[in-house]
Amino acid sequence: MTFFNTFRDKSIRIACALVALVCLSAVARAQNDDEDVIPINSNLVILNVGVADQKGRALTNLSQSDFNVFEDGVKQSVVSFEPSTAPFSLVMLLDMSGSTRNFRPTLKQSAIRFLDALSPEDRVEVVIFSNQVKTLQGFTSDRRKVAFAIDQADGRGDTSLYKALRRALADLSKEGKRRKAIVVLTDGLDTDERKLDGAATAEAKTGDEAVATVKPDQSAALRSVLDSADRLGVTIYPLALPSADPKDLLPLTPQQAAIYSAARTRMQTLADRTGGRIHEIRRLEDMGRLYAEVAAEMRTLYSLAYQSSNARPRDGKWRAITVEVARPDAIARTRPGYYAR
């Protein structure tokens, strides 16, 4: 009996260990499979709000009592407030696809100069994308580490723009209650979206017909990014590179006309829906100045959060957001709303 009991006890321990290993493996696989899954409080709405006077000058000395927030016309109770001086967690997304190879030195120099315009307390992550998405530097306030990562950036091939945006959002979701933003330097020509747009317009005979066929805002990849950005309160600033300027390809085929038009429309939507602003890089020498403009604009943003009192179920329908400021000369700008998914 003693031998039997000992054997049985060892067998039970071995079986338990095997079960534990299987469970750990399953968890690890789930974590890998769900790398870009973002845990979010679905009822909390986070806004980054810029306020300017009638002449366009930023107002940076406001308090929580100066703001009134409305959802579908109903006033909401603000549960948290961050002044314009509060630091950001920021992801710098750099397009390292083949279309940017000819001006990499200018691209890197401009991105490094951007760091000088940020607040010392801002935490920065560097993510590059081409045919793959790579994090070169995790969130840090050490500018030397960030600059080194930018200088090492390299890549070639395809453009995984929306995969990179999902990676950035997943990383930002781990940055707690800090204010959040993404600055993405790209031509916007995501490879997967380009293939879908080309297939959708294969039968089009003219450019106008092809452009009308594609519905850029119905892109599943775009909707996924916007939904996550909505819930996390992330503002996205696209810097649109001139490598996607269709004038360089004249005359355009109908498919090319649709692809370029859709790519630029999606970049505009990323900015508009998140309360950011798209910056068109007309000349490469303007890249550094536009980066500085983004940094200056970020320093004028307030962050507000409210717990939605909307009694309607989360039915996927649009909910409009309006922010008013209790000053006669003030104009507030933020994202226009969100889909309650």
- Tens-place pLDDT, residues 286-312: 999 999 999 999 999 999 999 999 888
User: Amino acid letter at 112?
Assistant: I
Question: Rounded to an integer, what distance in angstroms lies between the CA atom of residue 78 and that of residue 335?
Answer: 16
Reply yes or no on whether the pLDDT at 234 is more than 90: yes
What angle in degrees, to the nearest 10, is found between the helix axes of 161-172 and 220-232? 20
Q: What is the pLDDT of residue 244?
A: 55
* 321 CB neighbour count, 10 Å cutoff: 21
Q: What is the pLDDT of residue 246?
A: 63
CA neighbor of 335 nearest in space, from 239, 264, 271, 263: 271
**Which positions ≥6 away from 276 have C-beta within 8 Å?**
181, 235, 236, 237, 238, 270
Rounded mean pLDDT, 226-253: 84
* 252 CB neighbour count, 10 Å cutoff: 16
pLDDT band at 250 (very low <50, low <70, confident <90, very high): low
Read off φ and ψ for residue 81, nearest 5 degrees. -145, 135
Q: What is the pLDDT of residue 86?
A: 95
Q: What is the pLDDT of residue 173?
A: 97
Question: Rounded to an integer, what distance in angstroms lies between the CA atom of residue 52 and that of residue 93?
Answer: 28
Q: What is the pLDDT of residue 125?
A: 98
Rounded mean pLDDT, 17-43: 45
Question: Rounded to an integer, what distance in angstroms lies between the CA atom of residue 289 and that of residue 281?
Answer: 10
**Which positions ≥6 away from 270 have C-beta within 8 Å?**
165, 184, 222, 225, 226, 229, 236, 238, 276, 278
Percent of the chain with pLDDT over 90: 75
Q: Is-contact 114 292, C-beta < 8 A? A: yes
DSSP state at residue 178: S
- Whether the bond between 251 and the residue before it is cis, its omega within 30 degrees of 0, is yes
DSSP state at residue 116: H
Question: Which SS3 state, helix, strand or coil, does residue 90 take?
Answer: strand
Q: What is the pLDDT of residue 243?
A: 67
Question: Rounded to an integer, what distance in angstroms lies between the CA atom of residue 291 and that of residue 111?
Answer: 7
Q: What is the pLDDT of residue 245?
A: 61
Question: Rounded to an integer, what distance in angstroms lies between the CA atom of residue 32 and that of residue 23?
Answer: 14
Lowest mean pLDDT among 2-11, 143-152, 221-230: 2-11
**Which positions ≥6 away from 322 have C-beta within 8 Å?**
69, 70, 73
Question: Rounded to an integer, what distance in angstroms lies between the CA atom of residue 162 and that of residue 223?
Answer: 10
Reply yes or no on whether the pLDDT at 11 is more than 50: no
Alpha-carbon distances, residue 62 vs 25, 59, 78 (angstroms): 51, 7, 15
Q: What is the pLDDT of residue 188?
A: 93
pLDDT band at 16 (very low <50, low <70, confident <90, very high): very low
CA neighbor of 82 nearest in space, from 165, 177, 12, 1: 177
Q: Report the chain's mean pLDDT, rounded to a whole number.
A: 88
Question: Rounded to an integer, what distance in angstroms lies between the CA atom of residue 28 and that of residue 115?
Answer: 35
Note the pLDDT tens digit of each residue in 75-104: 999 999 999 999 999 999 999 999 898 899
Q: Which residue has the higher pLDDT, 24 or 92?
A: 92
DSSP state at residue 149: H
Question: Rounded to an integer, what distance in angstroms lies between the CA atom of residue 194 and that of residue 166?
Answer: 18
Note the pLDDT tens digit of each residue in 59-78: 999 999 999 999 999 999 99
